[in-house]
Structure 1
Amino acid sequence: MRLLKFVLLSCLFALALAGCQTTGTQNNKITEQQYAYSAAIRWGDFEGAVNMIKPELRAKLAPTPMQLERYKQIQISGYNDVGTEMDKTKGTAVRLINIGVINRHTLAERNVRYTEAWEWDPEVKTWWLISGLPDFWEGQ
């Protein structure tokens, strides 16, 4: 009887560890993707950032050639995470970002709020951006 309890507890412990590892992998992956995405935006690599958009949404959310030209007119001066919320049951994450934007022609700086939305793809074990690139000209 004692041996049976030991075996059952060992199995439960192993399953619990496996669950933690999966969650840990998702958490590590979202951190890696968000870091790579924010680096692309900070360095003005908007074409590279487009590659992080979910493939099924990319054609709809990707900027047009004219919009990409507009991105060349700005310089990013800051990219700060204001708050993050993750829903592991749905496989989604939302991150509120404050971005400093400088117009290269006027050298005027302003701040833009942007909400990133991410979705976990269990098949390829990666996070995809589902909100599109920031619109730095909204309301102007």
Structure 2
Amino acid sequence: MRRYLLPLLALAAMLCAGCATDQRNQALITTLNAYAGTLRWGDFQSALQFIDPKARATHMPTPLDLARYQQVRVTGYDEGAGPVPDGENQVRQVVQIGLVNLNTQAERTVIDHQTWRYDPEKKRWWLTSGLPDITQD
């Protein structure tokens, strides 16, 4: 009986670890899709809720930054190859965002280098790199 108990406990531990990984991956997919949808609708105010609270406290966009976001319409959001692991609880993603300036009707594309961190306690992914820089040329 004992010789069967140890392998069963090891198998149960591996399955639980696999469930945690699956849960983390599913949370990442859900978060990235929700963030992409929020930006596609141009709702930069709601996108602030995806930013890591620590980063939000120290690098909150200024009123001028928020006003700039209101001057553009998002016309595209392309994740390219998707997220790439960068450590145990972190992924990076490069996104091309198409924008149209509402005043000039000029269209351009900006590259957003996103870094996402997983919080195992809250079981949530946080954007640590902040909102996209739409002032880049």
TM-score by length of 2: 0.92
**Counterpart in the other structure of 1:113:** 111
* CA displacement at 1:135 relative to structure 2: 0.7
**Contact in 2 for aligned 1:86/1:92 (Cα 8 Å):** yes
Q: Secondary structure at the match of 2:50?
A: coil
Change (3 A) 1:88 1:15: farther
**Contact in 2 for aligned 1:76/1:100 (Cα 8 Å):** yes
**Contact in 2 for aligned 1:62/1:133 (Cα 8 Å):** no
Deviation string 1:75-132 (CA, Å, 9 cap, x unpaired) is 001101123211352x111011011111112222111111110111111111111000
1:32 to 25, 30, 33: 30
Unaligned regions of 5+ residues in structure 2, if any?
none
Determine the C-alpha separation between the residues in 2 that align with 1:97 and 1:80.
5
Q: 1:85 corresponds to which letter in structure 2?
A: V
- What percentage of residue pairs aligned between the two structures are identical? 35
- State the aligned residue count: 136
CA RMSD, 1 decimal: 1.3
**Contact in 2 for aligned 1:101/1:109 (Cα 8 Å):** yes
**Counterpart in the other structure of 1:63:** 61
Aligned pairs for 1:1-140 (under 5 A) are 3-83=1-81, 84-89=83-88, 91-139=89-137
Determine the C-alpha separation between the residues in 1 that align with 2:13 and 2:7.
10
Q: Secondary structure at the match of 2:2?
A: helix
Determine the C-alpha separation between the residues in 2 that align with 1:88 and 1:23.
14
Structure 1 outlier segments of 4+, above 4 Å: none
Determine the C-alpha separation between the residues in 2 that align with 1:100 and 1:11.
51
Determine the C-alpha separation between the residues in 1 that align with 2:113 and 2:64.
23
Unaligned regions of 5+ residues in structure 1, if any?
none
Q: Secondary structure at the match of 1:82?
A: coil
